Structure 1
Amino acid sequence: MTTQPAVLAGPVAAGVATSRVAAGPRGRWRPWRAWTVRLTSVAAAIALWQVLTANHVRLWLRFDTLPTVTEIAGAFGRRVGAQEYWLDLGQSLIRILTGFALAAVIGVVTGILLGRSTAFATVLGPLTELTRPIPAIAIVPVAILLFPSDEAGIVFITFLAAYFPIMVSTRHAVRALPTIWEDSVRTLGGSRWDVLIRVVLPGIQPGVFGGLSVGIGVAWICVISAEMISGRLGVGYRTWQAYTVLAYPEVFVGIITIGVLGFATSAAVEVIGRRATRWLPRGGENAR
Structure 2
Amino acid sequence: MVKTRQLHHVLRLLLVFLCMNLIWYVAFLLMHHPILPSPLEVYEAMFQLGGQAVALNVGYSLMRIGAGVLFALILGLLIGLLMGRSQTWNKLLDPVVYLTYPVPKIALLPVVMLFFGLGETSKILMIMLILLFQVIISVRDGVKAIPASTYDVLTSIGAGTAQKFWHVTLPGALSVILSTIRISLGSAISVLFFTEIYGTEHGMGFFIMDAWLRLDYPEMYAGIMLFSLVGFVLFLLVDLLDYTFMKWRN
Superposed pair shares fold, TM > 0.5? yes
Query: Out of 230, 233, 249, which is 1:264 matched to?
Result: 233
Residues 24-103 of structure 1 aligned to structure 2 (within 5 Å): 29-53=4-28, 55=29, 57-58=30-31, 65-79=35-49, 81=50, 83-103=52-72
CA distance in 2, matches of 1:70, 1:161: 35
Q: Deviations over 1:58-100 (max 9, x none)?
A: 4xxx877411112212221222x26333221111111111111
1:175 match = 144
Pair 1:116 & 2:85 matched:
yes
Query: Out of 108, 115, 118, which is 1:139 matched to?
Result: 108
CA distance in 2, matches of 1:211, 1:255: 24
| Cα separation, partners in 2 of 1:235 and 1:64, compared to 1, 3 Å | closer
Pair 1:198 & 2:167 matched:
yes
Contact conserved, 1:168 with 1:211, CA < 8 A, in 2?
Answer: no
CA distance in 2, matches of 1:174, 1:133: 22
Q: Deviations over 1:210-229 (max 9, x none)?
A: 12322433321211121124
Q: Deviations over 1:117-159 (max 9, x none)?
A: 1222222222222221222221111111111552111011111
CA distance in 1, matches of 2:48, 2:188: 28
Q: Whose RCO is larger (CA < 8 A, sep 6+)? A: 2
CA distance in 2, matches of 1:29, 1:189: 42
- Deviation, 1:232, is 3.1
Count of residues in correspondence between the two structures: 250
Larger Rg: 1
Q: Which runs of 5+ in 2 are unaligned?
A: none
Q: Which runs of 5+ in 1 are unaligned?
A: 1-22, 283-288
CA distance in 2, matches of 1:35, 1:215: 23
Contact conserved, 1:103 with 1:162, CA < 8 A, in 2?
Answer: yes
Contact conserved, 1:49 with 1:69, CA < 8 A, in 2?
Answer: yes
Judge which range, 163-172 or 193-202, deviates more.
193-202
| Cα separation, partners in 2 of 1:183 and 1:131, compared to 1, 3 Å | same
CA distance in 2, matches of 1:48, 1:190: 58
Residue 247 of structure 2 aligns to a residue whose secondary structure is coil
Pair 1:253 & 2:244 matched:
no
Query: Out of 239, 242, 245, which is 1:273 matched to?
Result: 242
RMSD: 2.3
CA distance in 2, matches of 1:273, 1:131: 29
Percent sequence identity is 26
Letter in 2 for 1:48: I
| Cα separation, partners in 2 of 1:93 and 1:39, compared to 1, 3 Å | same
Residues 226-237 of structure 1 aligned to structure 2 (within 5 Å): 226-237=195-206
**TM-score after normalising by structure 1:** 0.78
CA distance in 2, matches of 1:101, 1:246: 36
Letter in 1 for 2:232: F
| Cα separation, partners in 2 of 1:132 and 1:231, compared to 1, 3 Å | farther
